[in-house]
Structure 1
């Protein structure tokens, strides 16, 4: 379960797609980013634009900013330091020093990688990544469902607020009428008073 959480933290939303970046995939597959990208280039026909695309500078900066904000300054470099046998040509320190912009792989692109990077580690990691994508999709569906429910509740509350306000107004009118009646009955009478 911990590995799925780790993978979910590496899934980004870019251009309306949930993607993983090449250097994150390389870390998970325990290969160099360069090796991963070379394997993709040798099999480029398997990776159309809806499976893989290269980030723009603005997109990459946005991801760096979001990730650093989430991790409060902890970047992927720490992961690389924990695994000293891995080197990434993209992440050198705090997301800086990139030689070229990373590639983003959609869920289909990651699935296609399983046929390109063919090691036991890559196969096992691909299974975990697919599970993480499914979990993210479930979370988003639940969130969408919750948002719909909240909207419905707000609409109902709005209707109830109108009805409650009308009820409160009617109650205030009744109370005002009762108070007026009591005042009328308790008024000092004028005219002849009969003692009994």
Structure 2
């Protein structure tokens, strides 16, 4: 079974934006053990599976507001920062993403993420 790194708390990676609980593309990449660009390529190659209610890009205001709330390390790349605002995924978008990534790690990670969303609702 895939072991989630001890220092990664899924609940701490869930944010409320536009009235929805979402996770950042870069945080999902860490959890799925892939590069952020792989997450975004999956969406780009399957746009019909990701309507706006499943996944969307943060606007400038949302991105700035989010960055001001915590350490920006997860939002900055090692090559001088992001070129685009991050994409975020709702719970449904994350479930769809796991069907595209198709790995044992993706399935196990998605289960843990879904459990975290349920825990946050309680």
**Pair 1:75-2:65 in alignment:** no
When the two structures are superposed, what TM-score results if normalisation uses the length of structure 1?
A: 0.56
Q: What is the rounded CA distance, in whole Å, between the counterparts of 2:85 and 2:58 in structure 1?
A: 6
What is the number of residues matched between the two proteins?
Answer: 117
Give 1:101's match in structure 2, choosing from 78, 82, 85: 85
Write the deviation string for residues 55-81 of structure 1: whole angstroms up to 9, x where unpaired: 01110111111123xxxxx733xxxxx
Shift of 1:105: 0.4
Structure with more relative contact order (C-alpha pairs < 8 Å, separation 6 or more): 2
Q: Is the 8 A contact 1:92 1:98 kept in 2?
A: yes
Considering only CA atoms, is the larger Rg found in Structure 1 or Structure 2? 1
Q: What is the rounded CA distance, in whole Å, between the counterparts of 2:37 and 2:5 in structure 1?
A: 27
Corresponding residue number in structure 2 for 1:91: 76
1:40-189 alignment runs, 5 A limit: 40-68=43-71, 75-76=73-74, 91-92=76-77, 97-138=81-122
Question: Going by fraction, where is strand more abundant, 1 or 2?
Answer: 2
When the two structures are superposed, what TM-score results if normalisation uses the length of structure 2?
A: 0.87
5+ unaligned residues in a row in structure 2: which ranges? none
Write the deviation string for residues 26-71 of structure 1: whole angstroms up to 9, x where unpaired: 1110101111111111111011010011101110111111123xxx
Corresponding residue number in structure 1 for 2:18: 15
Q: Is the 8 A contact 1:11 1:20 kept in 2?
A: yes
Q: What is the rounded CA distance, in whole Å, between the counterparts of 2:44 and 2:73 in structure 1?
A: 27
Q: What is the rounded CA distance, in whole Å, between the counterparts of 2:106 and 2:95 in structure 1?
A: 11
